Chains A and B, each alone.
Chain A
Amino acid sequence: MNKIIEILISQRSCNFQEQCISNFNWSRKWRTMQAMLLMLVVTATGCTSLPDVGPFADATHQLKAAVAQSGSTVSDELRYTEGGKETAEQLDQAWKARNQAFEAIAAYSDSLEAIVSSGNQGAQAAGELADSIQEFAEAAGIAIPASPAAIQVASDSIKLLVKYIAITRAAKSLEEAMVKTQPAVEQIVKLIVEDLEDIDGIFPAANKLVEINFKNSYATRISYRKALEDFVQKADVTDANDAVLKRLAQVNELLDSTNSWYSEYQQGLETNQRRLRVGRTLIKTAQASVQQWVTAHKQVVNALKNRRPVSTESLLEAAVEIRYLLKRIREL
């Protein structure tokens, strides 16, 4: 059979009948046809599988969520500031365009997945198609020469054919789409990186405004407590008389009485700091994820060009980290 395939490939099948007909039975001829079909398709396509773009699509959705959450986290922080409502609304308005862009990017990544899925579904549909063709042949009374085994061979040929056509067309569509979109991907990444840098500046500034306002609300009490602390620290008890000791005890009592609000004050500062830490980590993670995302897009394009598998490990890690941070920030 190998010899026949070689002849078919080299001579474009022209002398097929003279060389084969007297040497093979019908079943073997159908097998030869199947082998020929397979060879033709594989030779023409040079492709046997599609890259898994699922992790890329998943990372895109996570990135979309991280970008949206980064914007709303900063906007919320601005709302905490005195008179910050208007600035927050301006940011919300501007950030809408970012959210819409990442909606479109997510739809784009889903459409890449749809192409891959179509390619793979085409392979699955091949089985059903081959069965229906076999049924059609029987119903039409086409007694294909020789045995049912020969019909099965023909069926298998069609299955292979459909599978390779679907996969090859999907690979071609995927490559064309991703190559065409790569410049837009790079442009949008440049923009969002700059935006994330800017909100990474707005966020601590807004957080500091909240902190200043909070501290100011305690300023008089803090000043009072500091005066008490100064008194205790400066008090010399070595040769102190009863009056001084009594006064020191009273001051210590007064100091103790400030502990409840001072504890609230410290908790308030800690809450503010925690919000700052988690928010900035989210923004930083989004920045890093954007870079990984654009690299992943490029890797899929190269994988398609060079028929190499795609590495999605770093994307998956980034997606897990974003999920965790989104959960944390929503709990605050």
Chain B
Amino acid sequence: MSEFNGITGFEGWSAKLKSLLEETKHIARQDDLDERLKMCDRLTDFILESRPDTPEIKELDRIANETATALLKQSIEERLMAIIARTGEYKRLTKEFETQAKENQVNAESIRLKSIIQTVDSATVMINSAKKLKDSLKKNASDKKVAALIDETVVAIENLRSRIGKLL
């Protein structure tokens, strides 16, 4: 059953609006959006239900409409101000993300190229050592010399290992 059933005449509608405005005052002091929306629905229903459409009743409708609109605009304004107040913080964080993204891109490039180049260098050392090993075998196949050159190869690989260590 509608809360407007049985209301007749300007006096009746005027009294009803007065009670609605009292409730609106109370609700406007609280930040409960659902309550505010419900109040606006009741004020709008008042506009649709009130009759006859005499100038006096239309004046009541105008007050009801302005009250509902003001209540909603207050809700919007409060939230918009809160959003605007946070804007500065976003600008600071945006810079932080931009800087990190650039740094990551540089690192990505570095991973793509540097490790390969460094490995080529190290591999060259390995190959040179192997070449010496081969040459030495032509001259003298004694185990001692072979052992020394292999030792050199191992040193090269050790260097490679320490370079990997630096990369990590």
Interface residues of A (CB under 8 A from B): 12-13, 16-18, 20-22, 29, 33, 36-37, 40-41, 44-45, 78, 87, 90-91, 94-95, 97-98, 100-101, 103-105, 107-108, 110-112, 114-115, 117-119, 121-122, 125-126, 129, 133, 136-137, 140, 142-145, 154, 158, 161-162, 164-166, 168-170, 172-173, 177, 180-181, 184, 187-188, 191, 194-195, 198-199, 201-202, 204-206, 208-209, 211-212, 215-216, 219-220, 222-223, 226-227
B1 interface residue per 8 A CB criterion? no
Q: Mark B75-113, 1 if CB is under 8 A from A, else 0.
A: 111011011101101110111111011111101111110
Q: A209 contacts B48, CB within 8 Å?
A: no
Q: A212 contacts B111, CB within 8 Å?
A: no
Stretch touching chain A among B12-20, B22-30, B146-154: B146-154
Q: B167 contacts A195, CB within 8 Å?
A: no
Q: Which of B36, B91, B119, B134 contacts A158 (CB 8 A)?
A: B119
Complex CA distance for A137 and B133, rounded to whole angstroms: 14
Q: Which of B48, B98, B116, B158 contacts A13 (CB 8 A)?
A: B158
Chain A residues whose C-beta falls within 8 Å of the C-beta of B127 in the assembled complex: 133, 136-137, 140, 142, 144, 154
Q: A16 contacts B154, CB within 8 Å?
A: yes
Report the minimum CB–CB distance from A31 to chain B (whole Å). Answer: 14
Chain B residues whose C-beta falls within 8 Å of the C-beta of A212 in the assembled complex: 40, 44, 65, 68-69, 72
Given pairs A144-B127, A204-B37, A205-B73, 7 additional interface contacts (CB within 8 A) = A114-B105, A137-B127, A145-B137, A166-B115, A184-B100, A191-B89, A191-B93
Complex CA distance for A91 and B53, rounded to whole angstroms: 38
Chain B residues whose C-beta falls within 8 Å of the C-beta of A108 in the assembled complex: 97-98, 100-101, 104
Report the minimum CB–CB distance from A70 to chain B (whole Å). Answer: 12
Closest to A112 in B: B104
Q: Which of A118, A199, A208, A215 contacts B108 (CB 8 A)?
A: A118
Q: Mark B122-155, 1 if CB is under 8 A from A, else 0.
A: 0100110011011001000001001110110110
Complex CA distance for A124 and B130, rounded to whole angstroms: 26
Chain A residues whose C-beta falls within 8 Å of the C-beta of B160 in the assembled complex: 37, 40, 161
Chain B residues whose C-beta falls within 8 Å of the C-beta of A215 in the assembled complex: 44, 47-48
